[in-house]
């Protein structure tokens, strides 16, 4: 069977969809009317739209603008294909909560089936990823640095990394995944002040991020704090001694 049909008859389209819907992603371009019934009611006036149907039951009707579908049913929905007088009906039903999308196709222009890979997406580069990386590579903060605790609870919030330098001085490390601003510096200062009050000696404070604003860097240096820049793919760190 071909992977696509151009201006198929309703019968050809019905056979194509029934044969491919369980294993391939389907794209259908047609003049249609679409109605939705469920927690509310909605509908699309007759016009040219694009339907995407996925093997997991996802059913989406797209217009010409924006990334979100105009009407859709989520994974787990069941697809039914029916021939009507001079039309092809596609019915997507979600059982719980009960939702129904029905598309009446009058002028079929294109149907295609596509084999698309599925992978579980893992987001990297989050603050948690960066903290994990630093805990696993304490020497990147500086030689002799030792991690004492991660997400150390205090009365003013959680310290990302609490450690000790080679001279035995306590170090507070605050991590940001994007450009650090004055708020990030203020947060680090608050942790440093809190630890100083509790322990009777002032710890070092280090801010780690991919970038820092000029105002934040000035505020940081004014308060005797330090900055380490990490590149966004988490492969290297370098100490910033003079902001530019």
- Residue 234: the pLDDT is 53
CATH of residue 191's domain is: 3.40.1350.10
Q: Is 70 exceeded by the pLDDT of residue 241? A: no
> Against a cut of 0.75, is the pTM above it?
no
CATH of residue 76's domain is: 2.70.180.20
163 shares a domain with 215:
yes
Question: Which segment of 117-131, 154-168, 217-231 scores lowest on mean pLDDT?
Answer: 117-131
Gyration radius of the chain's alpha carbons: 29
Q: Is 80 exceeded by the pLDDT of residue 170? A: yes
Residue that is last in its domain, among 65, 90, 114 = 114
Mean pLDDT of the 49-77 span = 93
- Residue 127: the pLDDT is 81
Quote the CA–CA distance of 218 and 220 in Å, as a whole number: 5
Q: Is 90 exceeded by the pLDDT of residue 231? A: no
CA angle 31, 91, 98 (to 5 degrees): 130
Question: Which segment of 43-47, 162-166, 220-224, 229-233 scores lowest on mean pLDDT?
Answer: 229-233
Residue 186 to residues 11, 170, 182, Cα–Cα distance (Å): 67, 19, 6
Quote the CA–CA distance of 73 and 66 in Å, as a whole number: 18
235 shares a domain with 131:
yes
- Residue 123: the pLDDT is 45
In tens, the pLDDT along 93-135 reads 999 889 999 999 999 999 999 988 765 544 456 788 888 888 9
- Residue 244: the pLDDT is 45
Q: Is 50 exceeded by the pLDDT of residue 26? A: yes
107 shares a domain with 154:
no
In the chain, what percentage of residues exceed pLDDT 90? 72
- Residue 33: the pLDDT is 96
- Residue 177: the pLDDT is 86
Are the C-beta atoms of residues 155 and 195 closer than 8 Å to each other?
no
Q: Is 90 exceeded by the pLDDT of residue 81? A: yes
88 shares a domain with 37:
yes
132 shares a domain with 81:
no
In tens, the pLDDT along 175-199 reads 998 889 999 999 999 999 999 999 9
Q: Token pair for residue 130?
A: 């960066």
Supply the range of the domain harboring residue 210: 127-239
Q: What is the mean pLDDT of the chain?
A: 89
Mean pLDDT of the 216-223 span = 93
Q: Which class for 30: exposed (0-12), middle (13-18), buried (19 or more C-beta within 10 A)?
A: buried
């Amino acid at each position: 069977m071909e992977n696509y049909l151009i201006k198929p008859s309703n019968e050809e389209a019905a056979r194509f969809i029934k044969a491919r819907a369980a294993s391939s992603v389907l794209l259908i371009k047609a003049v249609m009317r679409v109605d939705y019934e469920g927690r509310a009611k909605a509908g699309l006036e007759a016009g040219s739209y694009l339907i995407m149907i996925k093997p997991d039951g996802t059913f989406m009707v797209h217009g010409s603008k924006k990334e979100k579908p105009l009407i859709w049913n989520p994974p787990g929905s069941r697809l039914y294909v029916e021939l009507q007088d001079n039309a092809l009906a596609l019915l997507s039903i979600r059982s719980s909560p009960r939702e129904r999308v029905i598309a009446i196709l009058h002028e079929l222009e294109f149907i295609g089936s596509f084999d698309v890979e599925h992978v579980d997406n893992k987001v990297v580069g989050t603050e948690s990823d960066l903290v994990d990386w630093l805990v696993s590579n304490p020497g990147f903060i500086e030689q002799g640095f030792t991690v004492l605790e991660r997400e150390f609870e205090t009365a003013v919030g959680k310290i990302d990394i609490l450690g000790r330098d080679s001279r035995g001085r306590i170090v507070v490390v605050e991590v940001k995944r994007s450009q650090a601003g004055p708020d990030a510096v203020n947060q680090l200062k608050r942790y440093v002040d809190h630890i100083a009050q509790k322990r009777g000696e002032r710890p070092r404070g280090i801010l780690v991020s991919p970038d820092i604003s000029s105002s934040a860097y000035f505020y940081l240096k004014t308060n005797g704090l330090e900055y380490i820049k990490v590149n966004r793919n988490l492969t290297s760190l370098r100490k910033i001694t003079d902001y530019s």
